[in-house]
Structure 1
Amino acid sequence: MAQEDRPLFWNRVNEVEERWIESVDDNVLASAYLLKLPEGTQVVGAFPHGASYWTRTAEIETQQVDGSSMSFFVAKGDVGLAMVSGEYVSMSELHKTIPDATPAPIGWGTSIISASLLTAGSLDIQAFTAKVAELHTKGVSPNGKYGFAVPTFMGQMPQYITWTDSWEEFFTITVQRLMSNIEESQGKDPELSGLMAQVVAKVIPRLLRPLETGGREIKPRLVHGDLYSGNVSVDIASTSPILYDATCLYAHNECESTSLDHLYQY
């Protein structure tokens, strides 16, 4: 999609120059051997693919020994290896839980590589929602707590990932950190600060505390963390839904919506 044809929210300059994805660097070429990509893989070239606020994304086109083509997808930028590491671990957890609905992450370093052939074809909504339900059924927190093992990011903002016993506490700290980031970047507004104080003091406890008191409990579930139309595609071979670009947490499963994503973005 040409930049002038993109939706308005993509109409901004990406600070990572496109030249960084016009060739395949040595680390990626080494990955083909060290990470056991198909033996005999030959790189044809690297080409811009997709769009991102934070990085440059590319498709690496390869030729296999039988003459067939296979594509791998990479991202490159200077916003920090922690973002790439967080996505690699996130996608690894998702792939262990729903392997038929996620690309297989191969490695991370200068680039993150995943093997899957995708298309922008029509998504089967029933199949997609069934996979999300399967993720939330199988993806149980390893220690019964809310959080994640490594830092993950919503855009460039690190998420709160410290292992926490209650969803009320975890969500409260998440919202407070969000507000701090907003005030740091946009300046303080007394009215908004007062409203946020009311949300933390009254709204969150009244809505979330009953979920885990009076004999009731909820179990933290693995959530994709940034599940919206831009991070879902269709597998060309099977036409099954494919989820990618995850920023995982073990959270309340209803956190798996665009509402929290919108909070982070604004």
Structure 2
Amino acid sequence: MATDERDVEQKLDENLLAVLPEGGKVMSVTPSGMSDYCNTYRVEVAMPDGSSQVFFQKESAGETGWDLMEAAYKSEITAHEFIPEFLPRPITLGTYKSRPNVHFYLAEFAEMIDDDIPGPEGYMSGLIALHTRSMGKSPNGMFGFPINTRFGNMEQENGWKATWEEFWSEQMRRYLDKEEAGRGVPDAELARLRPLFFEKVIPRYLRPLETGGRSITPALVHGDAWPGNIKYRTDGETVCAFDTCIFWAHNEMDLGVIRNPRYPLGKPYLKEYWKHVPISEPEEDADSRNSLYLLRNQVLLAALYPQDHKLREIFVSNMRFLVDRVQAEEDAAKKVSQLADSLQTQARL
């Protein structure tokens, strides 16, 4: 058990000290500023041999706070099993003895460079490793996760499903419901597009992955691989990923955020990924699937920040693009069919 002999009014809780290194002395506890949804701290501990160890701590109160801490711990510890070199080591999940309504998550602290986005090779290396190492290791061969994780502070429902289309459709319905409930303002265009999105777009671009003799092997996905969650460590070479909200999914789902125009990533990062991971069949649908998975990220951002009306406009525009693309495909197929019928009629005359 560590000790906290600092001359401060509020020292670290006994249950937190119990999981810090034996014989260590707490030297400093400073806000880390890495989260909008809970308190976060950098905890430095001096060791008896003169060295020091640094830890990252999150805390949050109430039942919701426990859910946030549990989601962070179970998501990070599962991802760490597959990519330990890319993820700070999770240590424990607990509740304060002095404040039983406050819960904490503890991990090793990773010193990172805030403003430097890794290039394609470094940025994608963690995702490539996570996907390829975990593929085929879903505990029941299904899509989902044992608990609901969090995108920011938003619950991500991860109930197990046998097919990817079913899992992803249910998640998207819930996210769209949350976005509409949080904004509280109806949108006529969204009301028009939403049923077409579920009736036409999703079956068109996800169903072929699991029909016609094709199948998807579930892989763990990061779930929120935007540049704020993938950074260089202070050596400027080693990449660190964190704040995962993982579940077992189609690996390409993680690539949707890479396409988001709000981040300086895009095609070079996607090309780097495809050097190492085969494109799922049918390959000709890969671009449309990427736009479809981008929509998830856009809807989640709109739900997290309902005061930003532009975010809804962005995802509605992308939904319209996908609906129009499917409609154009159907119109083209109809014309081909009509032409074939006409040629057959002429041949009989």
Partner of 1:27: 15
Amino acid paired to 1:203: V
Deviation, 1:52, is 1.9
Matches of 2:32 and 2:19, distance apart in 1: 20
Q: Distance in 2 between matches of 1:126 and 1:218?
A: 25
Question: Whole-Å Cα distance in 2 between the matches of residues 216 and 72 of structure 1?
Answer: 45
Aligned match of 1:118 in 106, 111, 116? 111
Q: Secondary structure at the match of 2:243?
A: coil
Q: Which amino acid aligns with 1:65?
A: P
Q: Distance in 2 between matches of 1:181 and 1:52?
A: 21
Q: C-alpha distance in 2, partners of 1:139/1:227?
A: 17
Question: How many pairs does the alignment contain?
Answer: 240
**Which one has more relative contact order, counting CA pairs under 8 Å at least 6 apart?**
1
1:127 to 122, 126, 131: 122
Aligned partners of 2:42 and 2:56 also within 8 Å: yes
Answer yes or no: is 1:63 the counterpart of 2:60: no
Q: Distance in 1 between matches of 2:188 and 2:234?
A: 52
Given the alignment of the two structures, is residue 173 of structure 1 paired with residue 173 of structure 2, yes or no? no
CA distance in 1, matches of 2:33, 2:120: 22
How many percent identity over aligned positions? 34
Q: How far did 1:50 drift?
A: 2.4
Does structure 2 conserve the Cα–Cα contact (< 8 Å) formed by 1:58 and 1:74? yes
- 1:102 Cα offset (Å): 0.8
> Radius of gyration: which is bigger?
2
Query: Which 5+ residue runs of structure 1 have no aligned equivalent?
Result: 1-21
1:45 to 28, 36, 53: 28
State whether residues 24 and 60 of structure 1, in contact with CA within 8 Å, keep that contact through their aligned partners in structure 2: no
More helix by share: 2
Aligned partners of 1:220, 1:238: CA distance in 2, in Å?
Answer: 32
Moved more, 194-203 or 78-87: 78-87
Q: What is the rounded CA distance, in whole Å, between the counterparts of 1:225 and 1:163 in structure 2?
A: 16
In structure 2, the gaps of 5 or more residues are 1-9, 95-102, 258-293, 303-349
Three-state SS of the structure 1 residue aligned to 2:41 is: strand
Q: 1:172 offset after TM fit, Å? A: 0.7
TM-score, length-normalised on structure 2?
0.65
After TM superposition, give the deviation of residue 190 of structure 1 in Å. Answer: 3.7
| 2:75 match | 90
Give, in angstroms, the shift of residue 261 of structure 1. 2.8
Aligned CA RMSD, in angstroms, stands at 1.9
Structure 2 distance, partners of 1:234, 1:155, is: 21
For 1:192, the aligned partner's letter is L
Q: 1:149 to 1:196 in 2, by over 3 A?
A: same
What is the letter of the counterpart of residue 46 of structure 1?
V
